[in-house]
Amino acid sequence: MKRTSIKDIARIAGVSVATVSYVLNRKEGQRISENTKKKIFEIAETINYTPNKIAKSLKTNKSKLLGLIVADISNEFYSHIARNLEDKALKLGYTLIIGSSDENAEKFEKLIELFSQQQVDGMIVAPVVGSEHILQKLVDKNYPIVTIDRYLKDVKIPSIIVNNREIAESTTDFLLKKKFDKIIYIGYDTKLPHLLDRQKGFETAISESGENVKTQSILVGIENITEEIQSKLKAALGISPTNIALYFSSNKLAVAGLSYLVQNNIKVPENISVVAFDETEAYKLFPSKITYVKQPLEEMADEAVKLLDLQIKQYAASAKKITLSAELIVQNSTK
Amino acid sequence: MKRTSIKDIARIAGVSVATVSYVLNRKEGQRISENTKKKIFEIAETINYTPNKIAKSLKTNKSKLLGLIVADISNEFYSHIARNLEDKALKLGYTLIIGSSDENAEKFEKLIELFSQQQVDGMIVAPVVGSEHILQKLVDKNYPIVTIDRYLKDVKIPSIIVNNREIAESTTDFLLKKKFDKIIYIGYDTKLPHLLDRQKGFETAISESGENVKTQSILVGIENITEEIQSKLKAALGISPTNIALYFSSNKLAVAGLSYLVQNNIKVPENISVVAFDETEAYKLFPSKITYVKQPLEEMADEAVKLLDLQIKQYAASAKKITLSAELIVQNSTK
DNA sequence: CTGAAAGCGCTTACAG
DNA sequence: CTGAAAGCGCTTACAG
């Protein structure tokens, strides 16, 4: 499987490799006769020439590779992010290499190292708890990097996020108006700032409302979401809940919780009302249409790649935080 | 952001780059004094040396990159495949670069070209209709390649698939035993062999059973699955269907169809029974537990990477087809 | 035990 | 209009 090279073309055409390179890359600086141009293109075609980007990368110091690190590519949220990023990256001539961190700082660091060894031109990452140190090192080296969906408190990295706190607040306000006896927030027991923002938004809205509504927070780890949610919901809801609202702060949590409701025949919105962060295909199989917070994934991907591309071209990190607006899509899972 | 190189280490240590290379790569062939070894490792550490795999690739002709082409990475089935492949590839020292073809032969070809320019050591692909030609070219060049989930009729490529036809047959037999008035197969209007196998399995089981059961096939395009399924199901089922079984031949089809049932309050399994190919998180939100065909994704990924790795190391394609067994998980969506 | 040197496949400033 | 040459950061057979 010997691949053909520029040298082969040069030899056959009887010109230098420099000439071949100029022609194939359509460099305008130097004029080359139409004749040799044509000859070179023809030869390239017939000997089935494929340019070796590795060699080009070595010379130009640009790999046209972008690293993407998400928590788990099999998670619907991230696979959709990845898909949007892929499309956008391709348009700018980049190819994506992808890794999953599993919320594990060591694995995250391994991936960062691997990707930088592969000489990716830049990285788009969803940082995990404990990744501050390694990311700070990249920032110090001026490595083009952008965080997406998440951000870190103490590291200045350009970030693409949504207005988590505000949308959580307004979603909670939306619930407050409906005068539930109790509103339960279901979130993660985590230190990830963007998730804490959602929680703070909830709490702020409650306390600022002056309403005397009962509230509860159910926080779960990332290990056994389904089991943990089911048992905690069971304890919180009892046999026949009424006039209660559930606020799930991610689609994974929502699927676990809604699954509990379905299994226990708790009617939405008759017995209980539900809002959730993020979409999922799964909502389609739920008896009522779920009211949810829609994140602008395509726009996020657009901004992320654009911002990264800018950094790559100018080697100038900006620590700019781009906050996009999520939107509450009101359907009929709330009374 | 000038990165440090082996040359820097050599200069500081006062040795040759050859020595540095030997030490860093732990080559046993030549013995190097413990002293210089230690010195080299220390210097590498302090100047924050990251090996440039691009340079290594150019020299060794191995990129340690694997290309993965799926129909759509945001499709749950493929994102799970990708995740399993990622884990397995990482263990063997490979990194995955991923692309989505959208069932489009041109896009598929573009990705193949892109990936081969990036010098991937091999590719794992879910071939689309019309990709025979381009894949044949790769095979002719002895390019290490493996298809997963799918295969092509006229191209000899090592493939990892499941026993689509057999499992479809036995699933249909399972339905036949239950004496439905009518069994409806919902599949794709496609030329993809692995999907046709599922359909053939269904048809074979029906005709060989000798049962006088009514059957129907609903075949949809990939454009507007949801709308198409909903309207065709409506026509097929009427107002109050009874004693009918639905056989969905993919999870996407199942979600679309089950969504219709939920919306129209058609009870499963009371009014209608359901079996489906593939799993999805979405089943968790359906009122009954769906009986489905489980594909051994992890095993598929394992075999795919193993087979590809073998080809890469031996440059010997085998055209071997590995067929793994899918399994019918019987739950309570059938009467 | 260690180094000089060639070379992987490109790009590009320079010279003519 | 075109070519000779250096060099990107590595690896590795060879020589000593």
Which CATH number fits the domain that encloses residue B40? 1.10.260.40
Give φ, ψ of A231 to 5 degrees: -70, -35
Whether B25 maps to a domain, the answer reads yes
Chain D bases closer than 7 angstroms to a protein Cβ: 1-5, 7-15
For residue B314, is it within any domain? yes
* Residue B66 pLDDT: 97
Contact assignment for A282 to B287 by CB distance below 8 Å: no
B141 contacts in chain A (CB < 8 Å): 1, 48
A168 and A291 together in one domain: yes
The number of C-beta contacts closer than 8 angstroms across A and B is: 157
CB of A309 within 8 Å of a chain B CB? The answer is: no
Q: Which of A108-117, A162-171, B290-299, B316-325 has the lowest mean pLDDT?
A: B316-325
Whether residue A124 has pLDDT greater than 70: yes
Q: Look at residues B12, B62, B65 and name the one whose alpha carbon lies nearest to residue B42.
A: B12
- Is the pLDDT reported for residue A316 higher than 80? no
Residue of B5, B25, B74, B140 for testing the chain A interface, max A β-carbons within 10 Å:
B74
pTM over 0.85: yes
Tokens of B245: 């079984």
Question: Which residues are paired to A204 by β-bridges?
Answer: none
Q: Are residues A42 and A158 in the same domain?
A: no
Which residues make up the interface with nucleic strand C when CB must lie under 7 A?
Answer: A 3, 5-7, 17-18, 21-22, 24-25, 27, 30, 49-52, 55-56, 58-60; B 14-19, 22, 30-33, 35-36, 55, 58-59, 61
Q: Is there a domain that residue B68 lies in?
A: yes
The predicted pLDDT at position B317 comes to 62
> Among the listed ranges A307-316, B196-205, B265-274, B283-292, which one has the minimum average pLDDT value?
A307-316
Is there a domain that residue A331 lies in? no
Cis bond upstream, residue A144 (ω within 30) = no
Cβ–Cβ below 8 Å for B50 and A113: yes
Average pLDDT over chain B, rounded to whole? 93
Q: What is the pLDDT of residue A16?
A: 86
B262 in the same domain as B173: yes
How is residue B114 written in tokens?
């892109």
Residue ranges of E strands in chain A: 65-70, 95-100, 122-125, 145-148, 159-162, 182-188, 214-220, 244-248, 272-277, 291-294, 321-324, 327-329
Query: What is the C-alpha to C-alpha distance for residues B106 and B128, in angstroms, rounded to an integer?
Result: 10
Residues spanned by the domain of B26 = 6-51
CA distance B281 to B75: 12
User: In chain B, positions 54-83, which contact chain A (CB-CB < 8 Å)?
Assistant: 54-55, 57-58, 63-65, 72-76, 79-80, 82-83
Would you state the structure tokens that stand for residue A98, as one six-digit string?
A: 């992808």
Residues of A with Cβ-Cβ distance to B74 under 8 angstroms: 76, 79-80, 82-83
Nearest-Cα residue of chain A relative to residue B280: A282
- List the single residue in A with minimal CA-CA distance to B67: A97
- Separation in Å: C12 C1' and B117 CA: 21
- Give B166-207 as a DSSP string: HHHHHHHHHHHTT--SEEEEEEE----HHHHHHHHHHHHHHH
* Average of per-residue pLDDT across B125-130: 97
CA–CA gap between residue B190 and residue B109 (Å, rounded) = 19
The CA distance from A160 to the nearest CA of chain B, in Å, is 20
| Residue A137 sits in the same domain as residue A182 | no
Strand C bases near protein CB (under 7 Å) are 1-5, 7-15
Residue of chain A nearest B118, judged by CA positions: A53
pLDDT score of B28 more than 60: no
pLDDT at B35: 82
> Has residue A75 got a pLDDT over 60?
yes
The answer to whether residues A210 and A152 belong to one domain is: no
- The pLDDT value recorded for residue A32 is 79
Mark whether B68 and B108 lie in a shared domain.
Answer: yes
For the CA of A11 and the C1' of C16, the distance in angstroms is 22
User: A233-245 burial, b for 16+ CB within 10 Å, e for fewer?
Assistant: beeebeeebeebb
Share of chain A residues as helix, strand and coil, in percent rounded to the nearest 5: 45, 20, 35
Closest CA to B192 of B258, B105, B111: B105
What is the pairing mode between strands A95-100 and A65-70? parallel
Give the pLDDT of residue B38. 87
Nearest CA in chain B to A137: B48
- Do the domain assignments include residue A335? no
Cβ-contact A196, A190 below 8 angstroms: yes
Tell me the average pLDDT across A245-251. 97
Q: Is A237 on the interface with B (CB under 8 A)?
A: no
**pLDDT of amino acid B241:** 85
Specify the DSSP class assigned to residue A250: S
Task: Note whether B171 and B284 are same-domain residues.
Answer: yes
- Looking at residue A30, what is its pLDDT? 62
- In this structure, is residue B172 part of a structural domain? yes
B280 touches chain A (CB under 8 A): yes
Q: Give Cβ neighbours of residue B135 (< 8 Å, ≥ 6 apart).
A: B112, B125, B127, B145, B152, B155, B157
Q: Where are the beta strands (DSSP E) in A86-228?
A: 95-100, 122-125, 145-148, 159-162, 182-188, 214-220
Judged against a pLDDT cut of 90, whether residue B293 lies above it is answered with yes
Counting the structural domains of chain A, the total is 3
Closest CA to B114 of B65, B79, B73: B65
Both structure tokens of A147: 């965080």
Mean pLDDT (chain A) is 93
A-chain CB neighbours of B52 within 8 Å are: 58, 117, 119
Q: How far does Cα A74 stand from its chain's mean position? A: 12
CA A59 to chain centroid, in Å, comes to 31
**Residue with tokens 């389609």, as numbered in its chain:** A284
The answer to whether B92 faces chain A, any CB pair under 8 Å, is no
CA nearest to B264 within chain A: A287
Residue among A289, A285, A278 at smallest CA distance from A254: A278
The sign of the CA dihedral B27, B29, B32, B34 is positive
- Say if residue A300's pLDDT is above 90: yes
Q: Omega before A269 cis (within 30°)?
A: yes
Distance A24 CA to C13 C1' (A): 18
Are the beta carbons of B295 and B278 closer than 8 angstroms?
yes
Closest CA to B164 of B279, B280, B69, B295: B295
pLDDT tens-digit map of B207-230? 999 888 999 999 999 889 999 999
Same domain, B175 and B270: yes
Average pLDDT, integer, range A257-267: 95
CATH number of the domain encompassing residue A102: 3.40.50.2300
Are the CB atoms for A165 and A202 separated by under 8 Å? Answer: no
Say if B256 falls within a structural domain: yes
Q: Are residues B174 and B273 in the same domain?
A: yes
For the CA of B20 and the C1' of D11, the distance in angstroms is 11
pLDDT at B77 over 80: yes
User: Are A281 and B282 within 8 A, CB to CB?
Assistant: yes
State pLDDT tens for residues B191-204. 999 999 999 999 99
Predicted local distance difference test score (pLDDT) of residue B212? 86
Mutate to test the interface with A, among B95, B145, B286 (most CBs of A within 10 A): B95
Percent helix, percent strand, percent coil in chain B, to nearest 5:
45, 20, 35
The answer to whether residues A173 and A242 belong to one domain is: yes
Nearest-by-CA chain A residue for B57: A54
Same domain, yes or no, for B284 and B176?
A: yes
Interchain proximity B285–A82, CB inside 8 Å: no
Nearest CB to A262: which of B51, B75, B285? B285
Q: Is A158 in the same domain as A301? A: yes
The C-alpha atoms of residue B306 and residue B158 are separated, in whole angstroms, by: 11
Using a 10 angstrom Cβ sphere, with 0-12 exposed, 13-18 middle and 19 or more buried, the burial of residue B177 is: exposed
Percentage, residues of chain B above pLDDT 70: 97
> CA-CA distance, B2 to A121, in Å (whole number)?
13
B283 touches chain A (CB under 8 A): yes
Q: Which of A45, A143, A259, A285 is the mutation pick for testing B, counting most B CBs within 10 A?
A: A285
Residues of chain B found within 8 Å of residue A233, distances taken between Cβ atoms = none
Which among B115, B258, B284 has CB closest to A259? Answer: B284
Tell whether the model's pLDDT for residue B316 goes beyond 70.
no
Mean pLDDT, residues B237-261 taken together: 94
CA of B309 to C1' of D11 (A): 22
Amino acid at A155: V
Contacts of residue A52 in chain B, CB cutoff 8 Å? Answer: 58, 117, 119
Confidence class for position B1, pLDDT limits 50, 70, 90: low
Are A54 and B50 inside 8 Å of each other by CB?
Answer: no
Q: Is the dihedral of CA B257, B261, B263, B268 positive or negative?
A: negative
Instruction: Give the Cα-Cα-Cα angle B181, B182, B183 (nearest 5 degrees).
Output: 140
Secondary structure (DSSP) of A317-330 = ----EEEEPPEEE-
Least CB–CB distance from A285: residue in B51, B54, B285: B285
- Minimal Cα–Cα distance from A203 to chain B, Å? 28
Q: Answer whether residue B69 is part of any domain.
A: yes
B301 CA from C1 C1′ (Å):
45
pLDDT at A1: 56
Which residues numbered 103-132 in B keep a CB inside 8 Å of some CB on A? 113-119
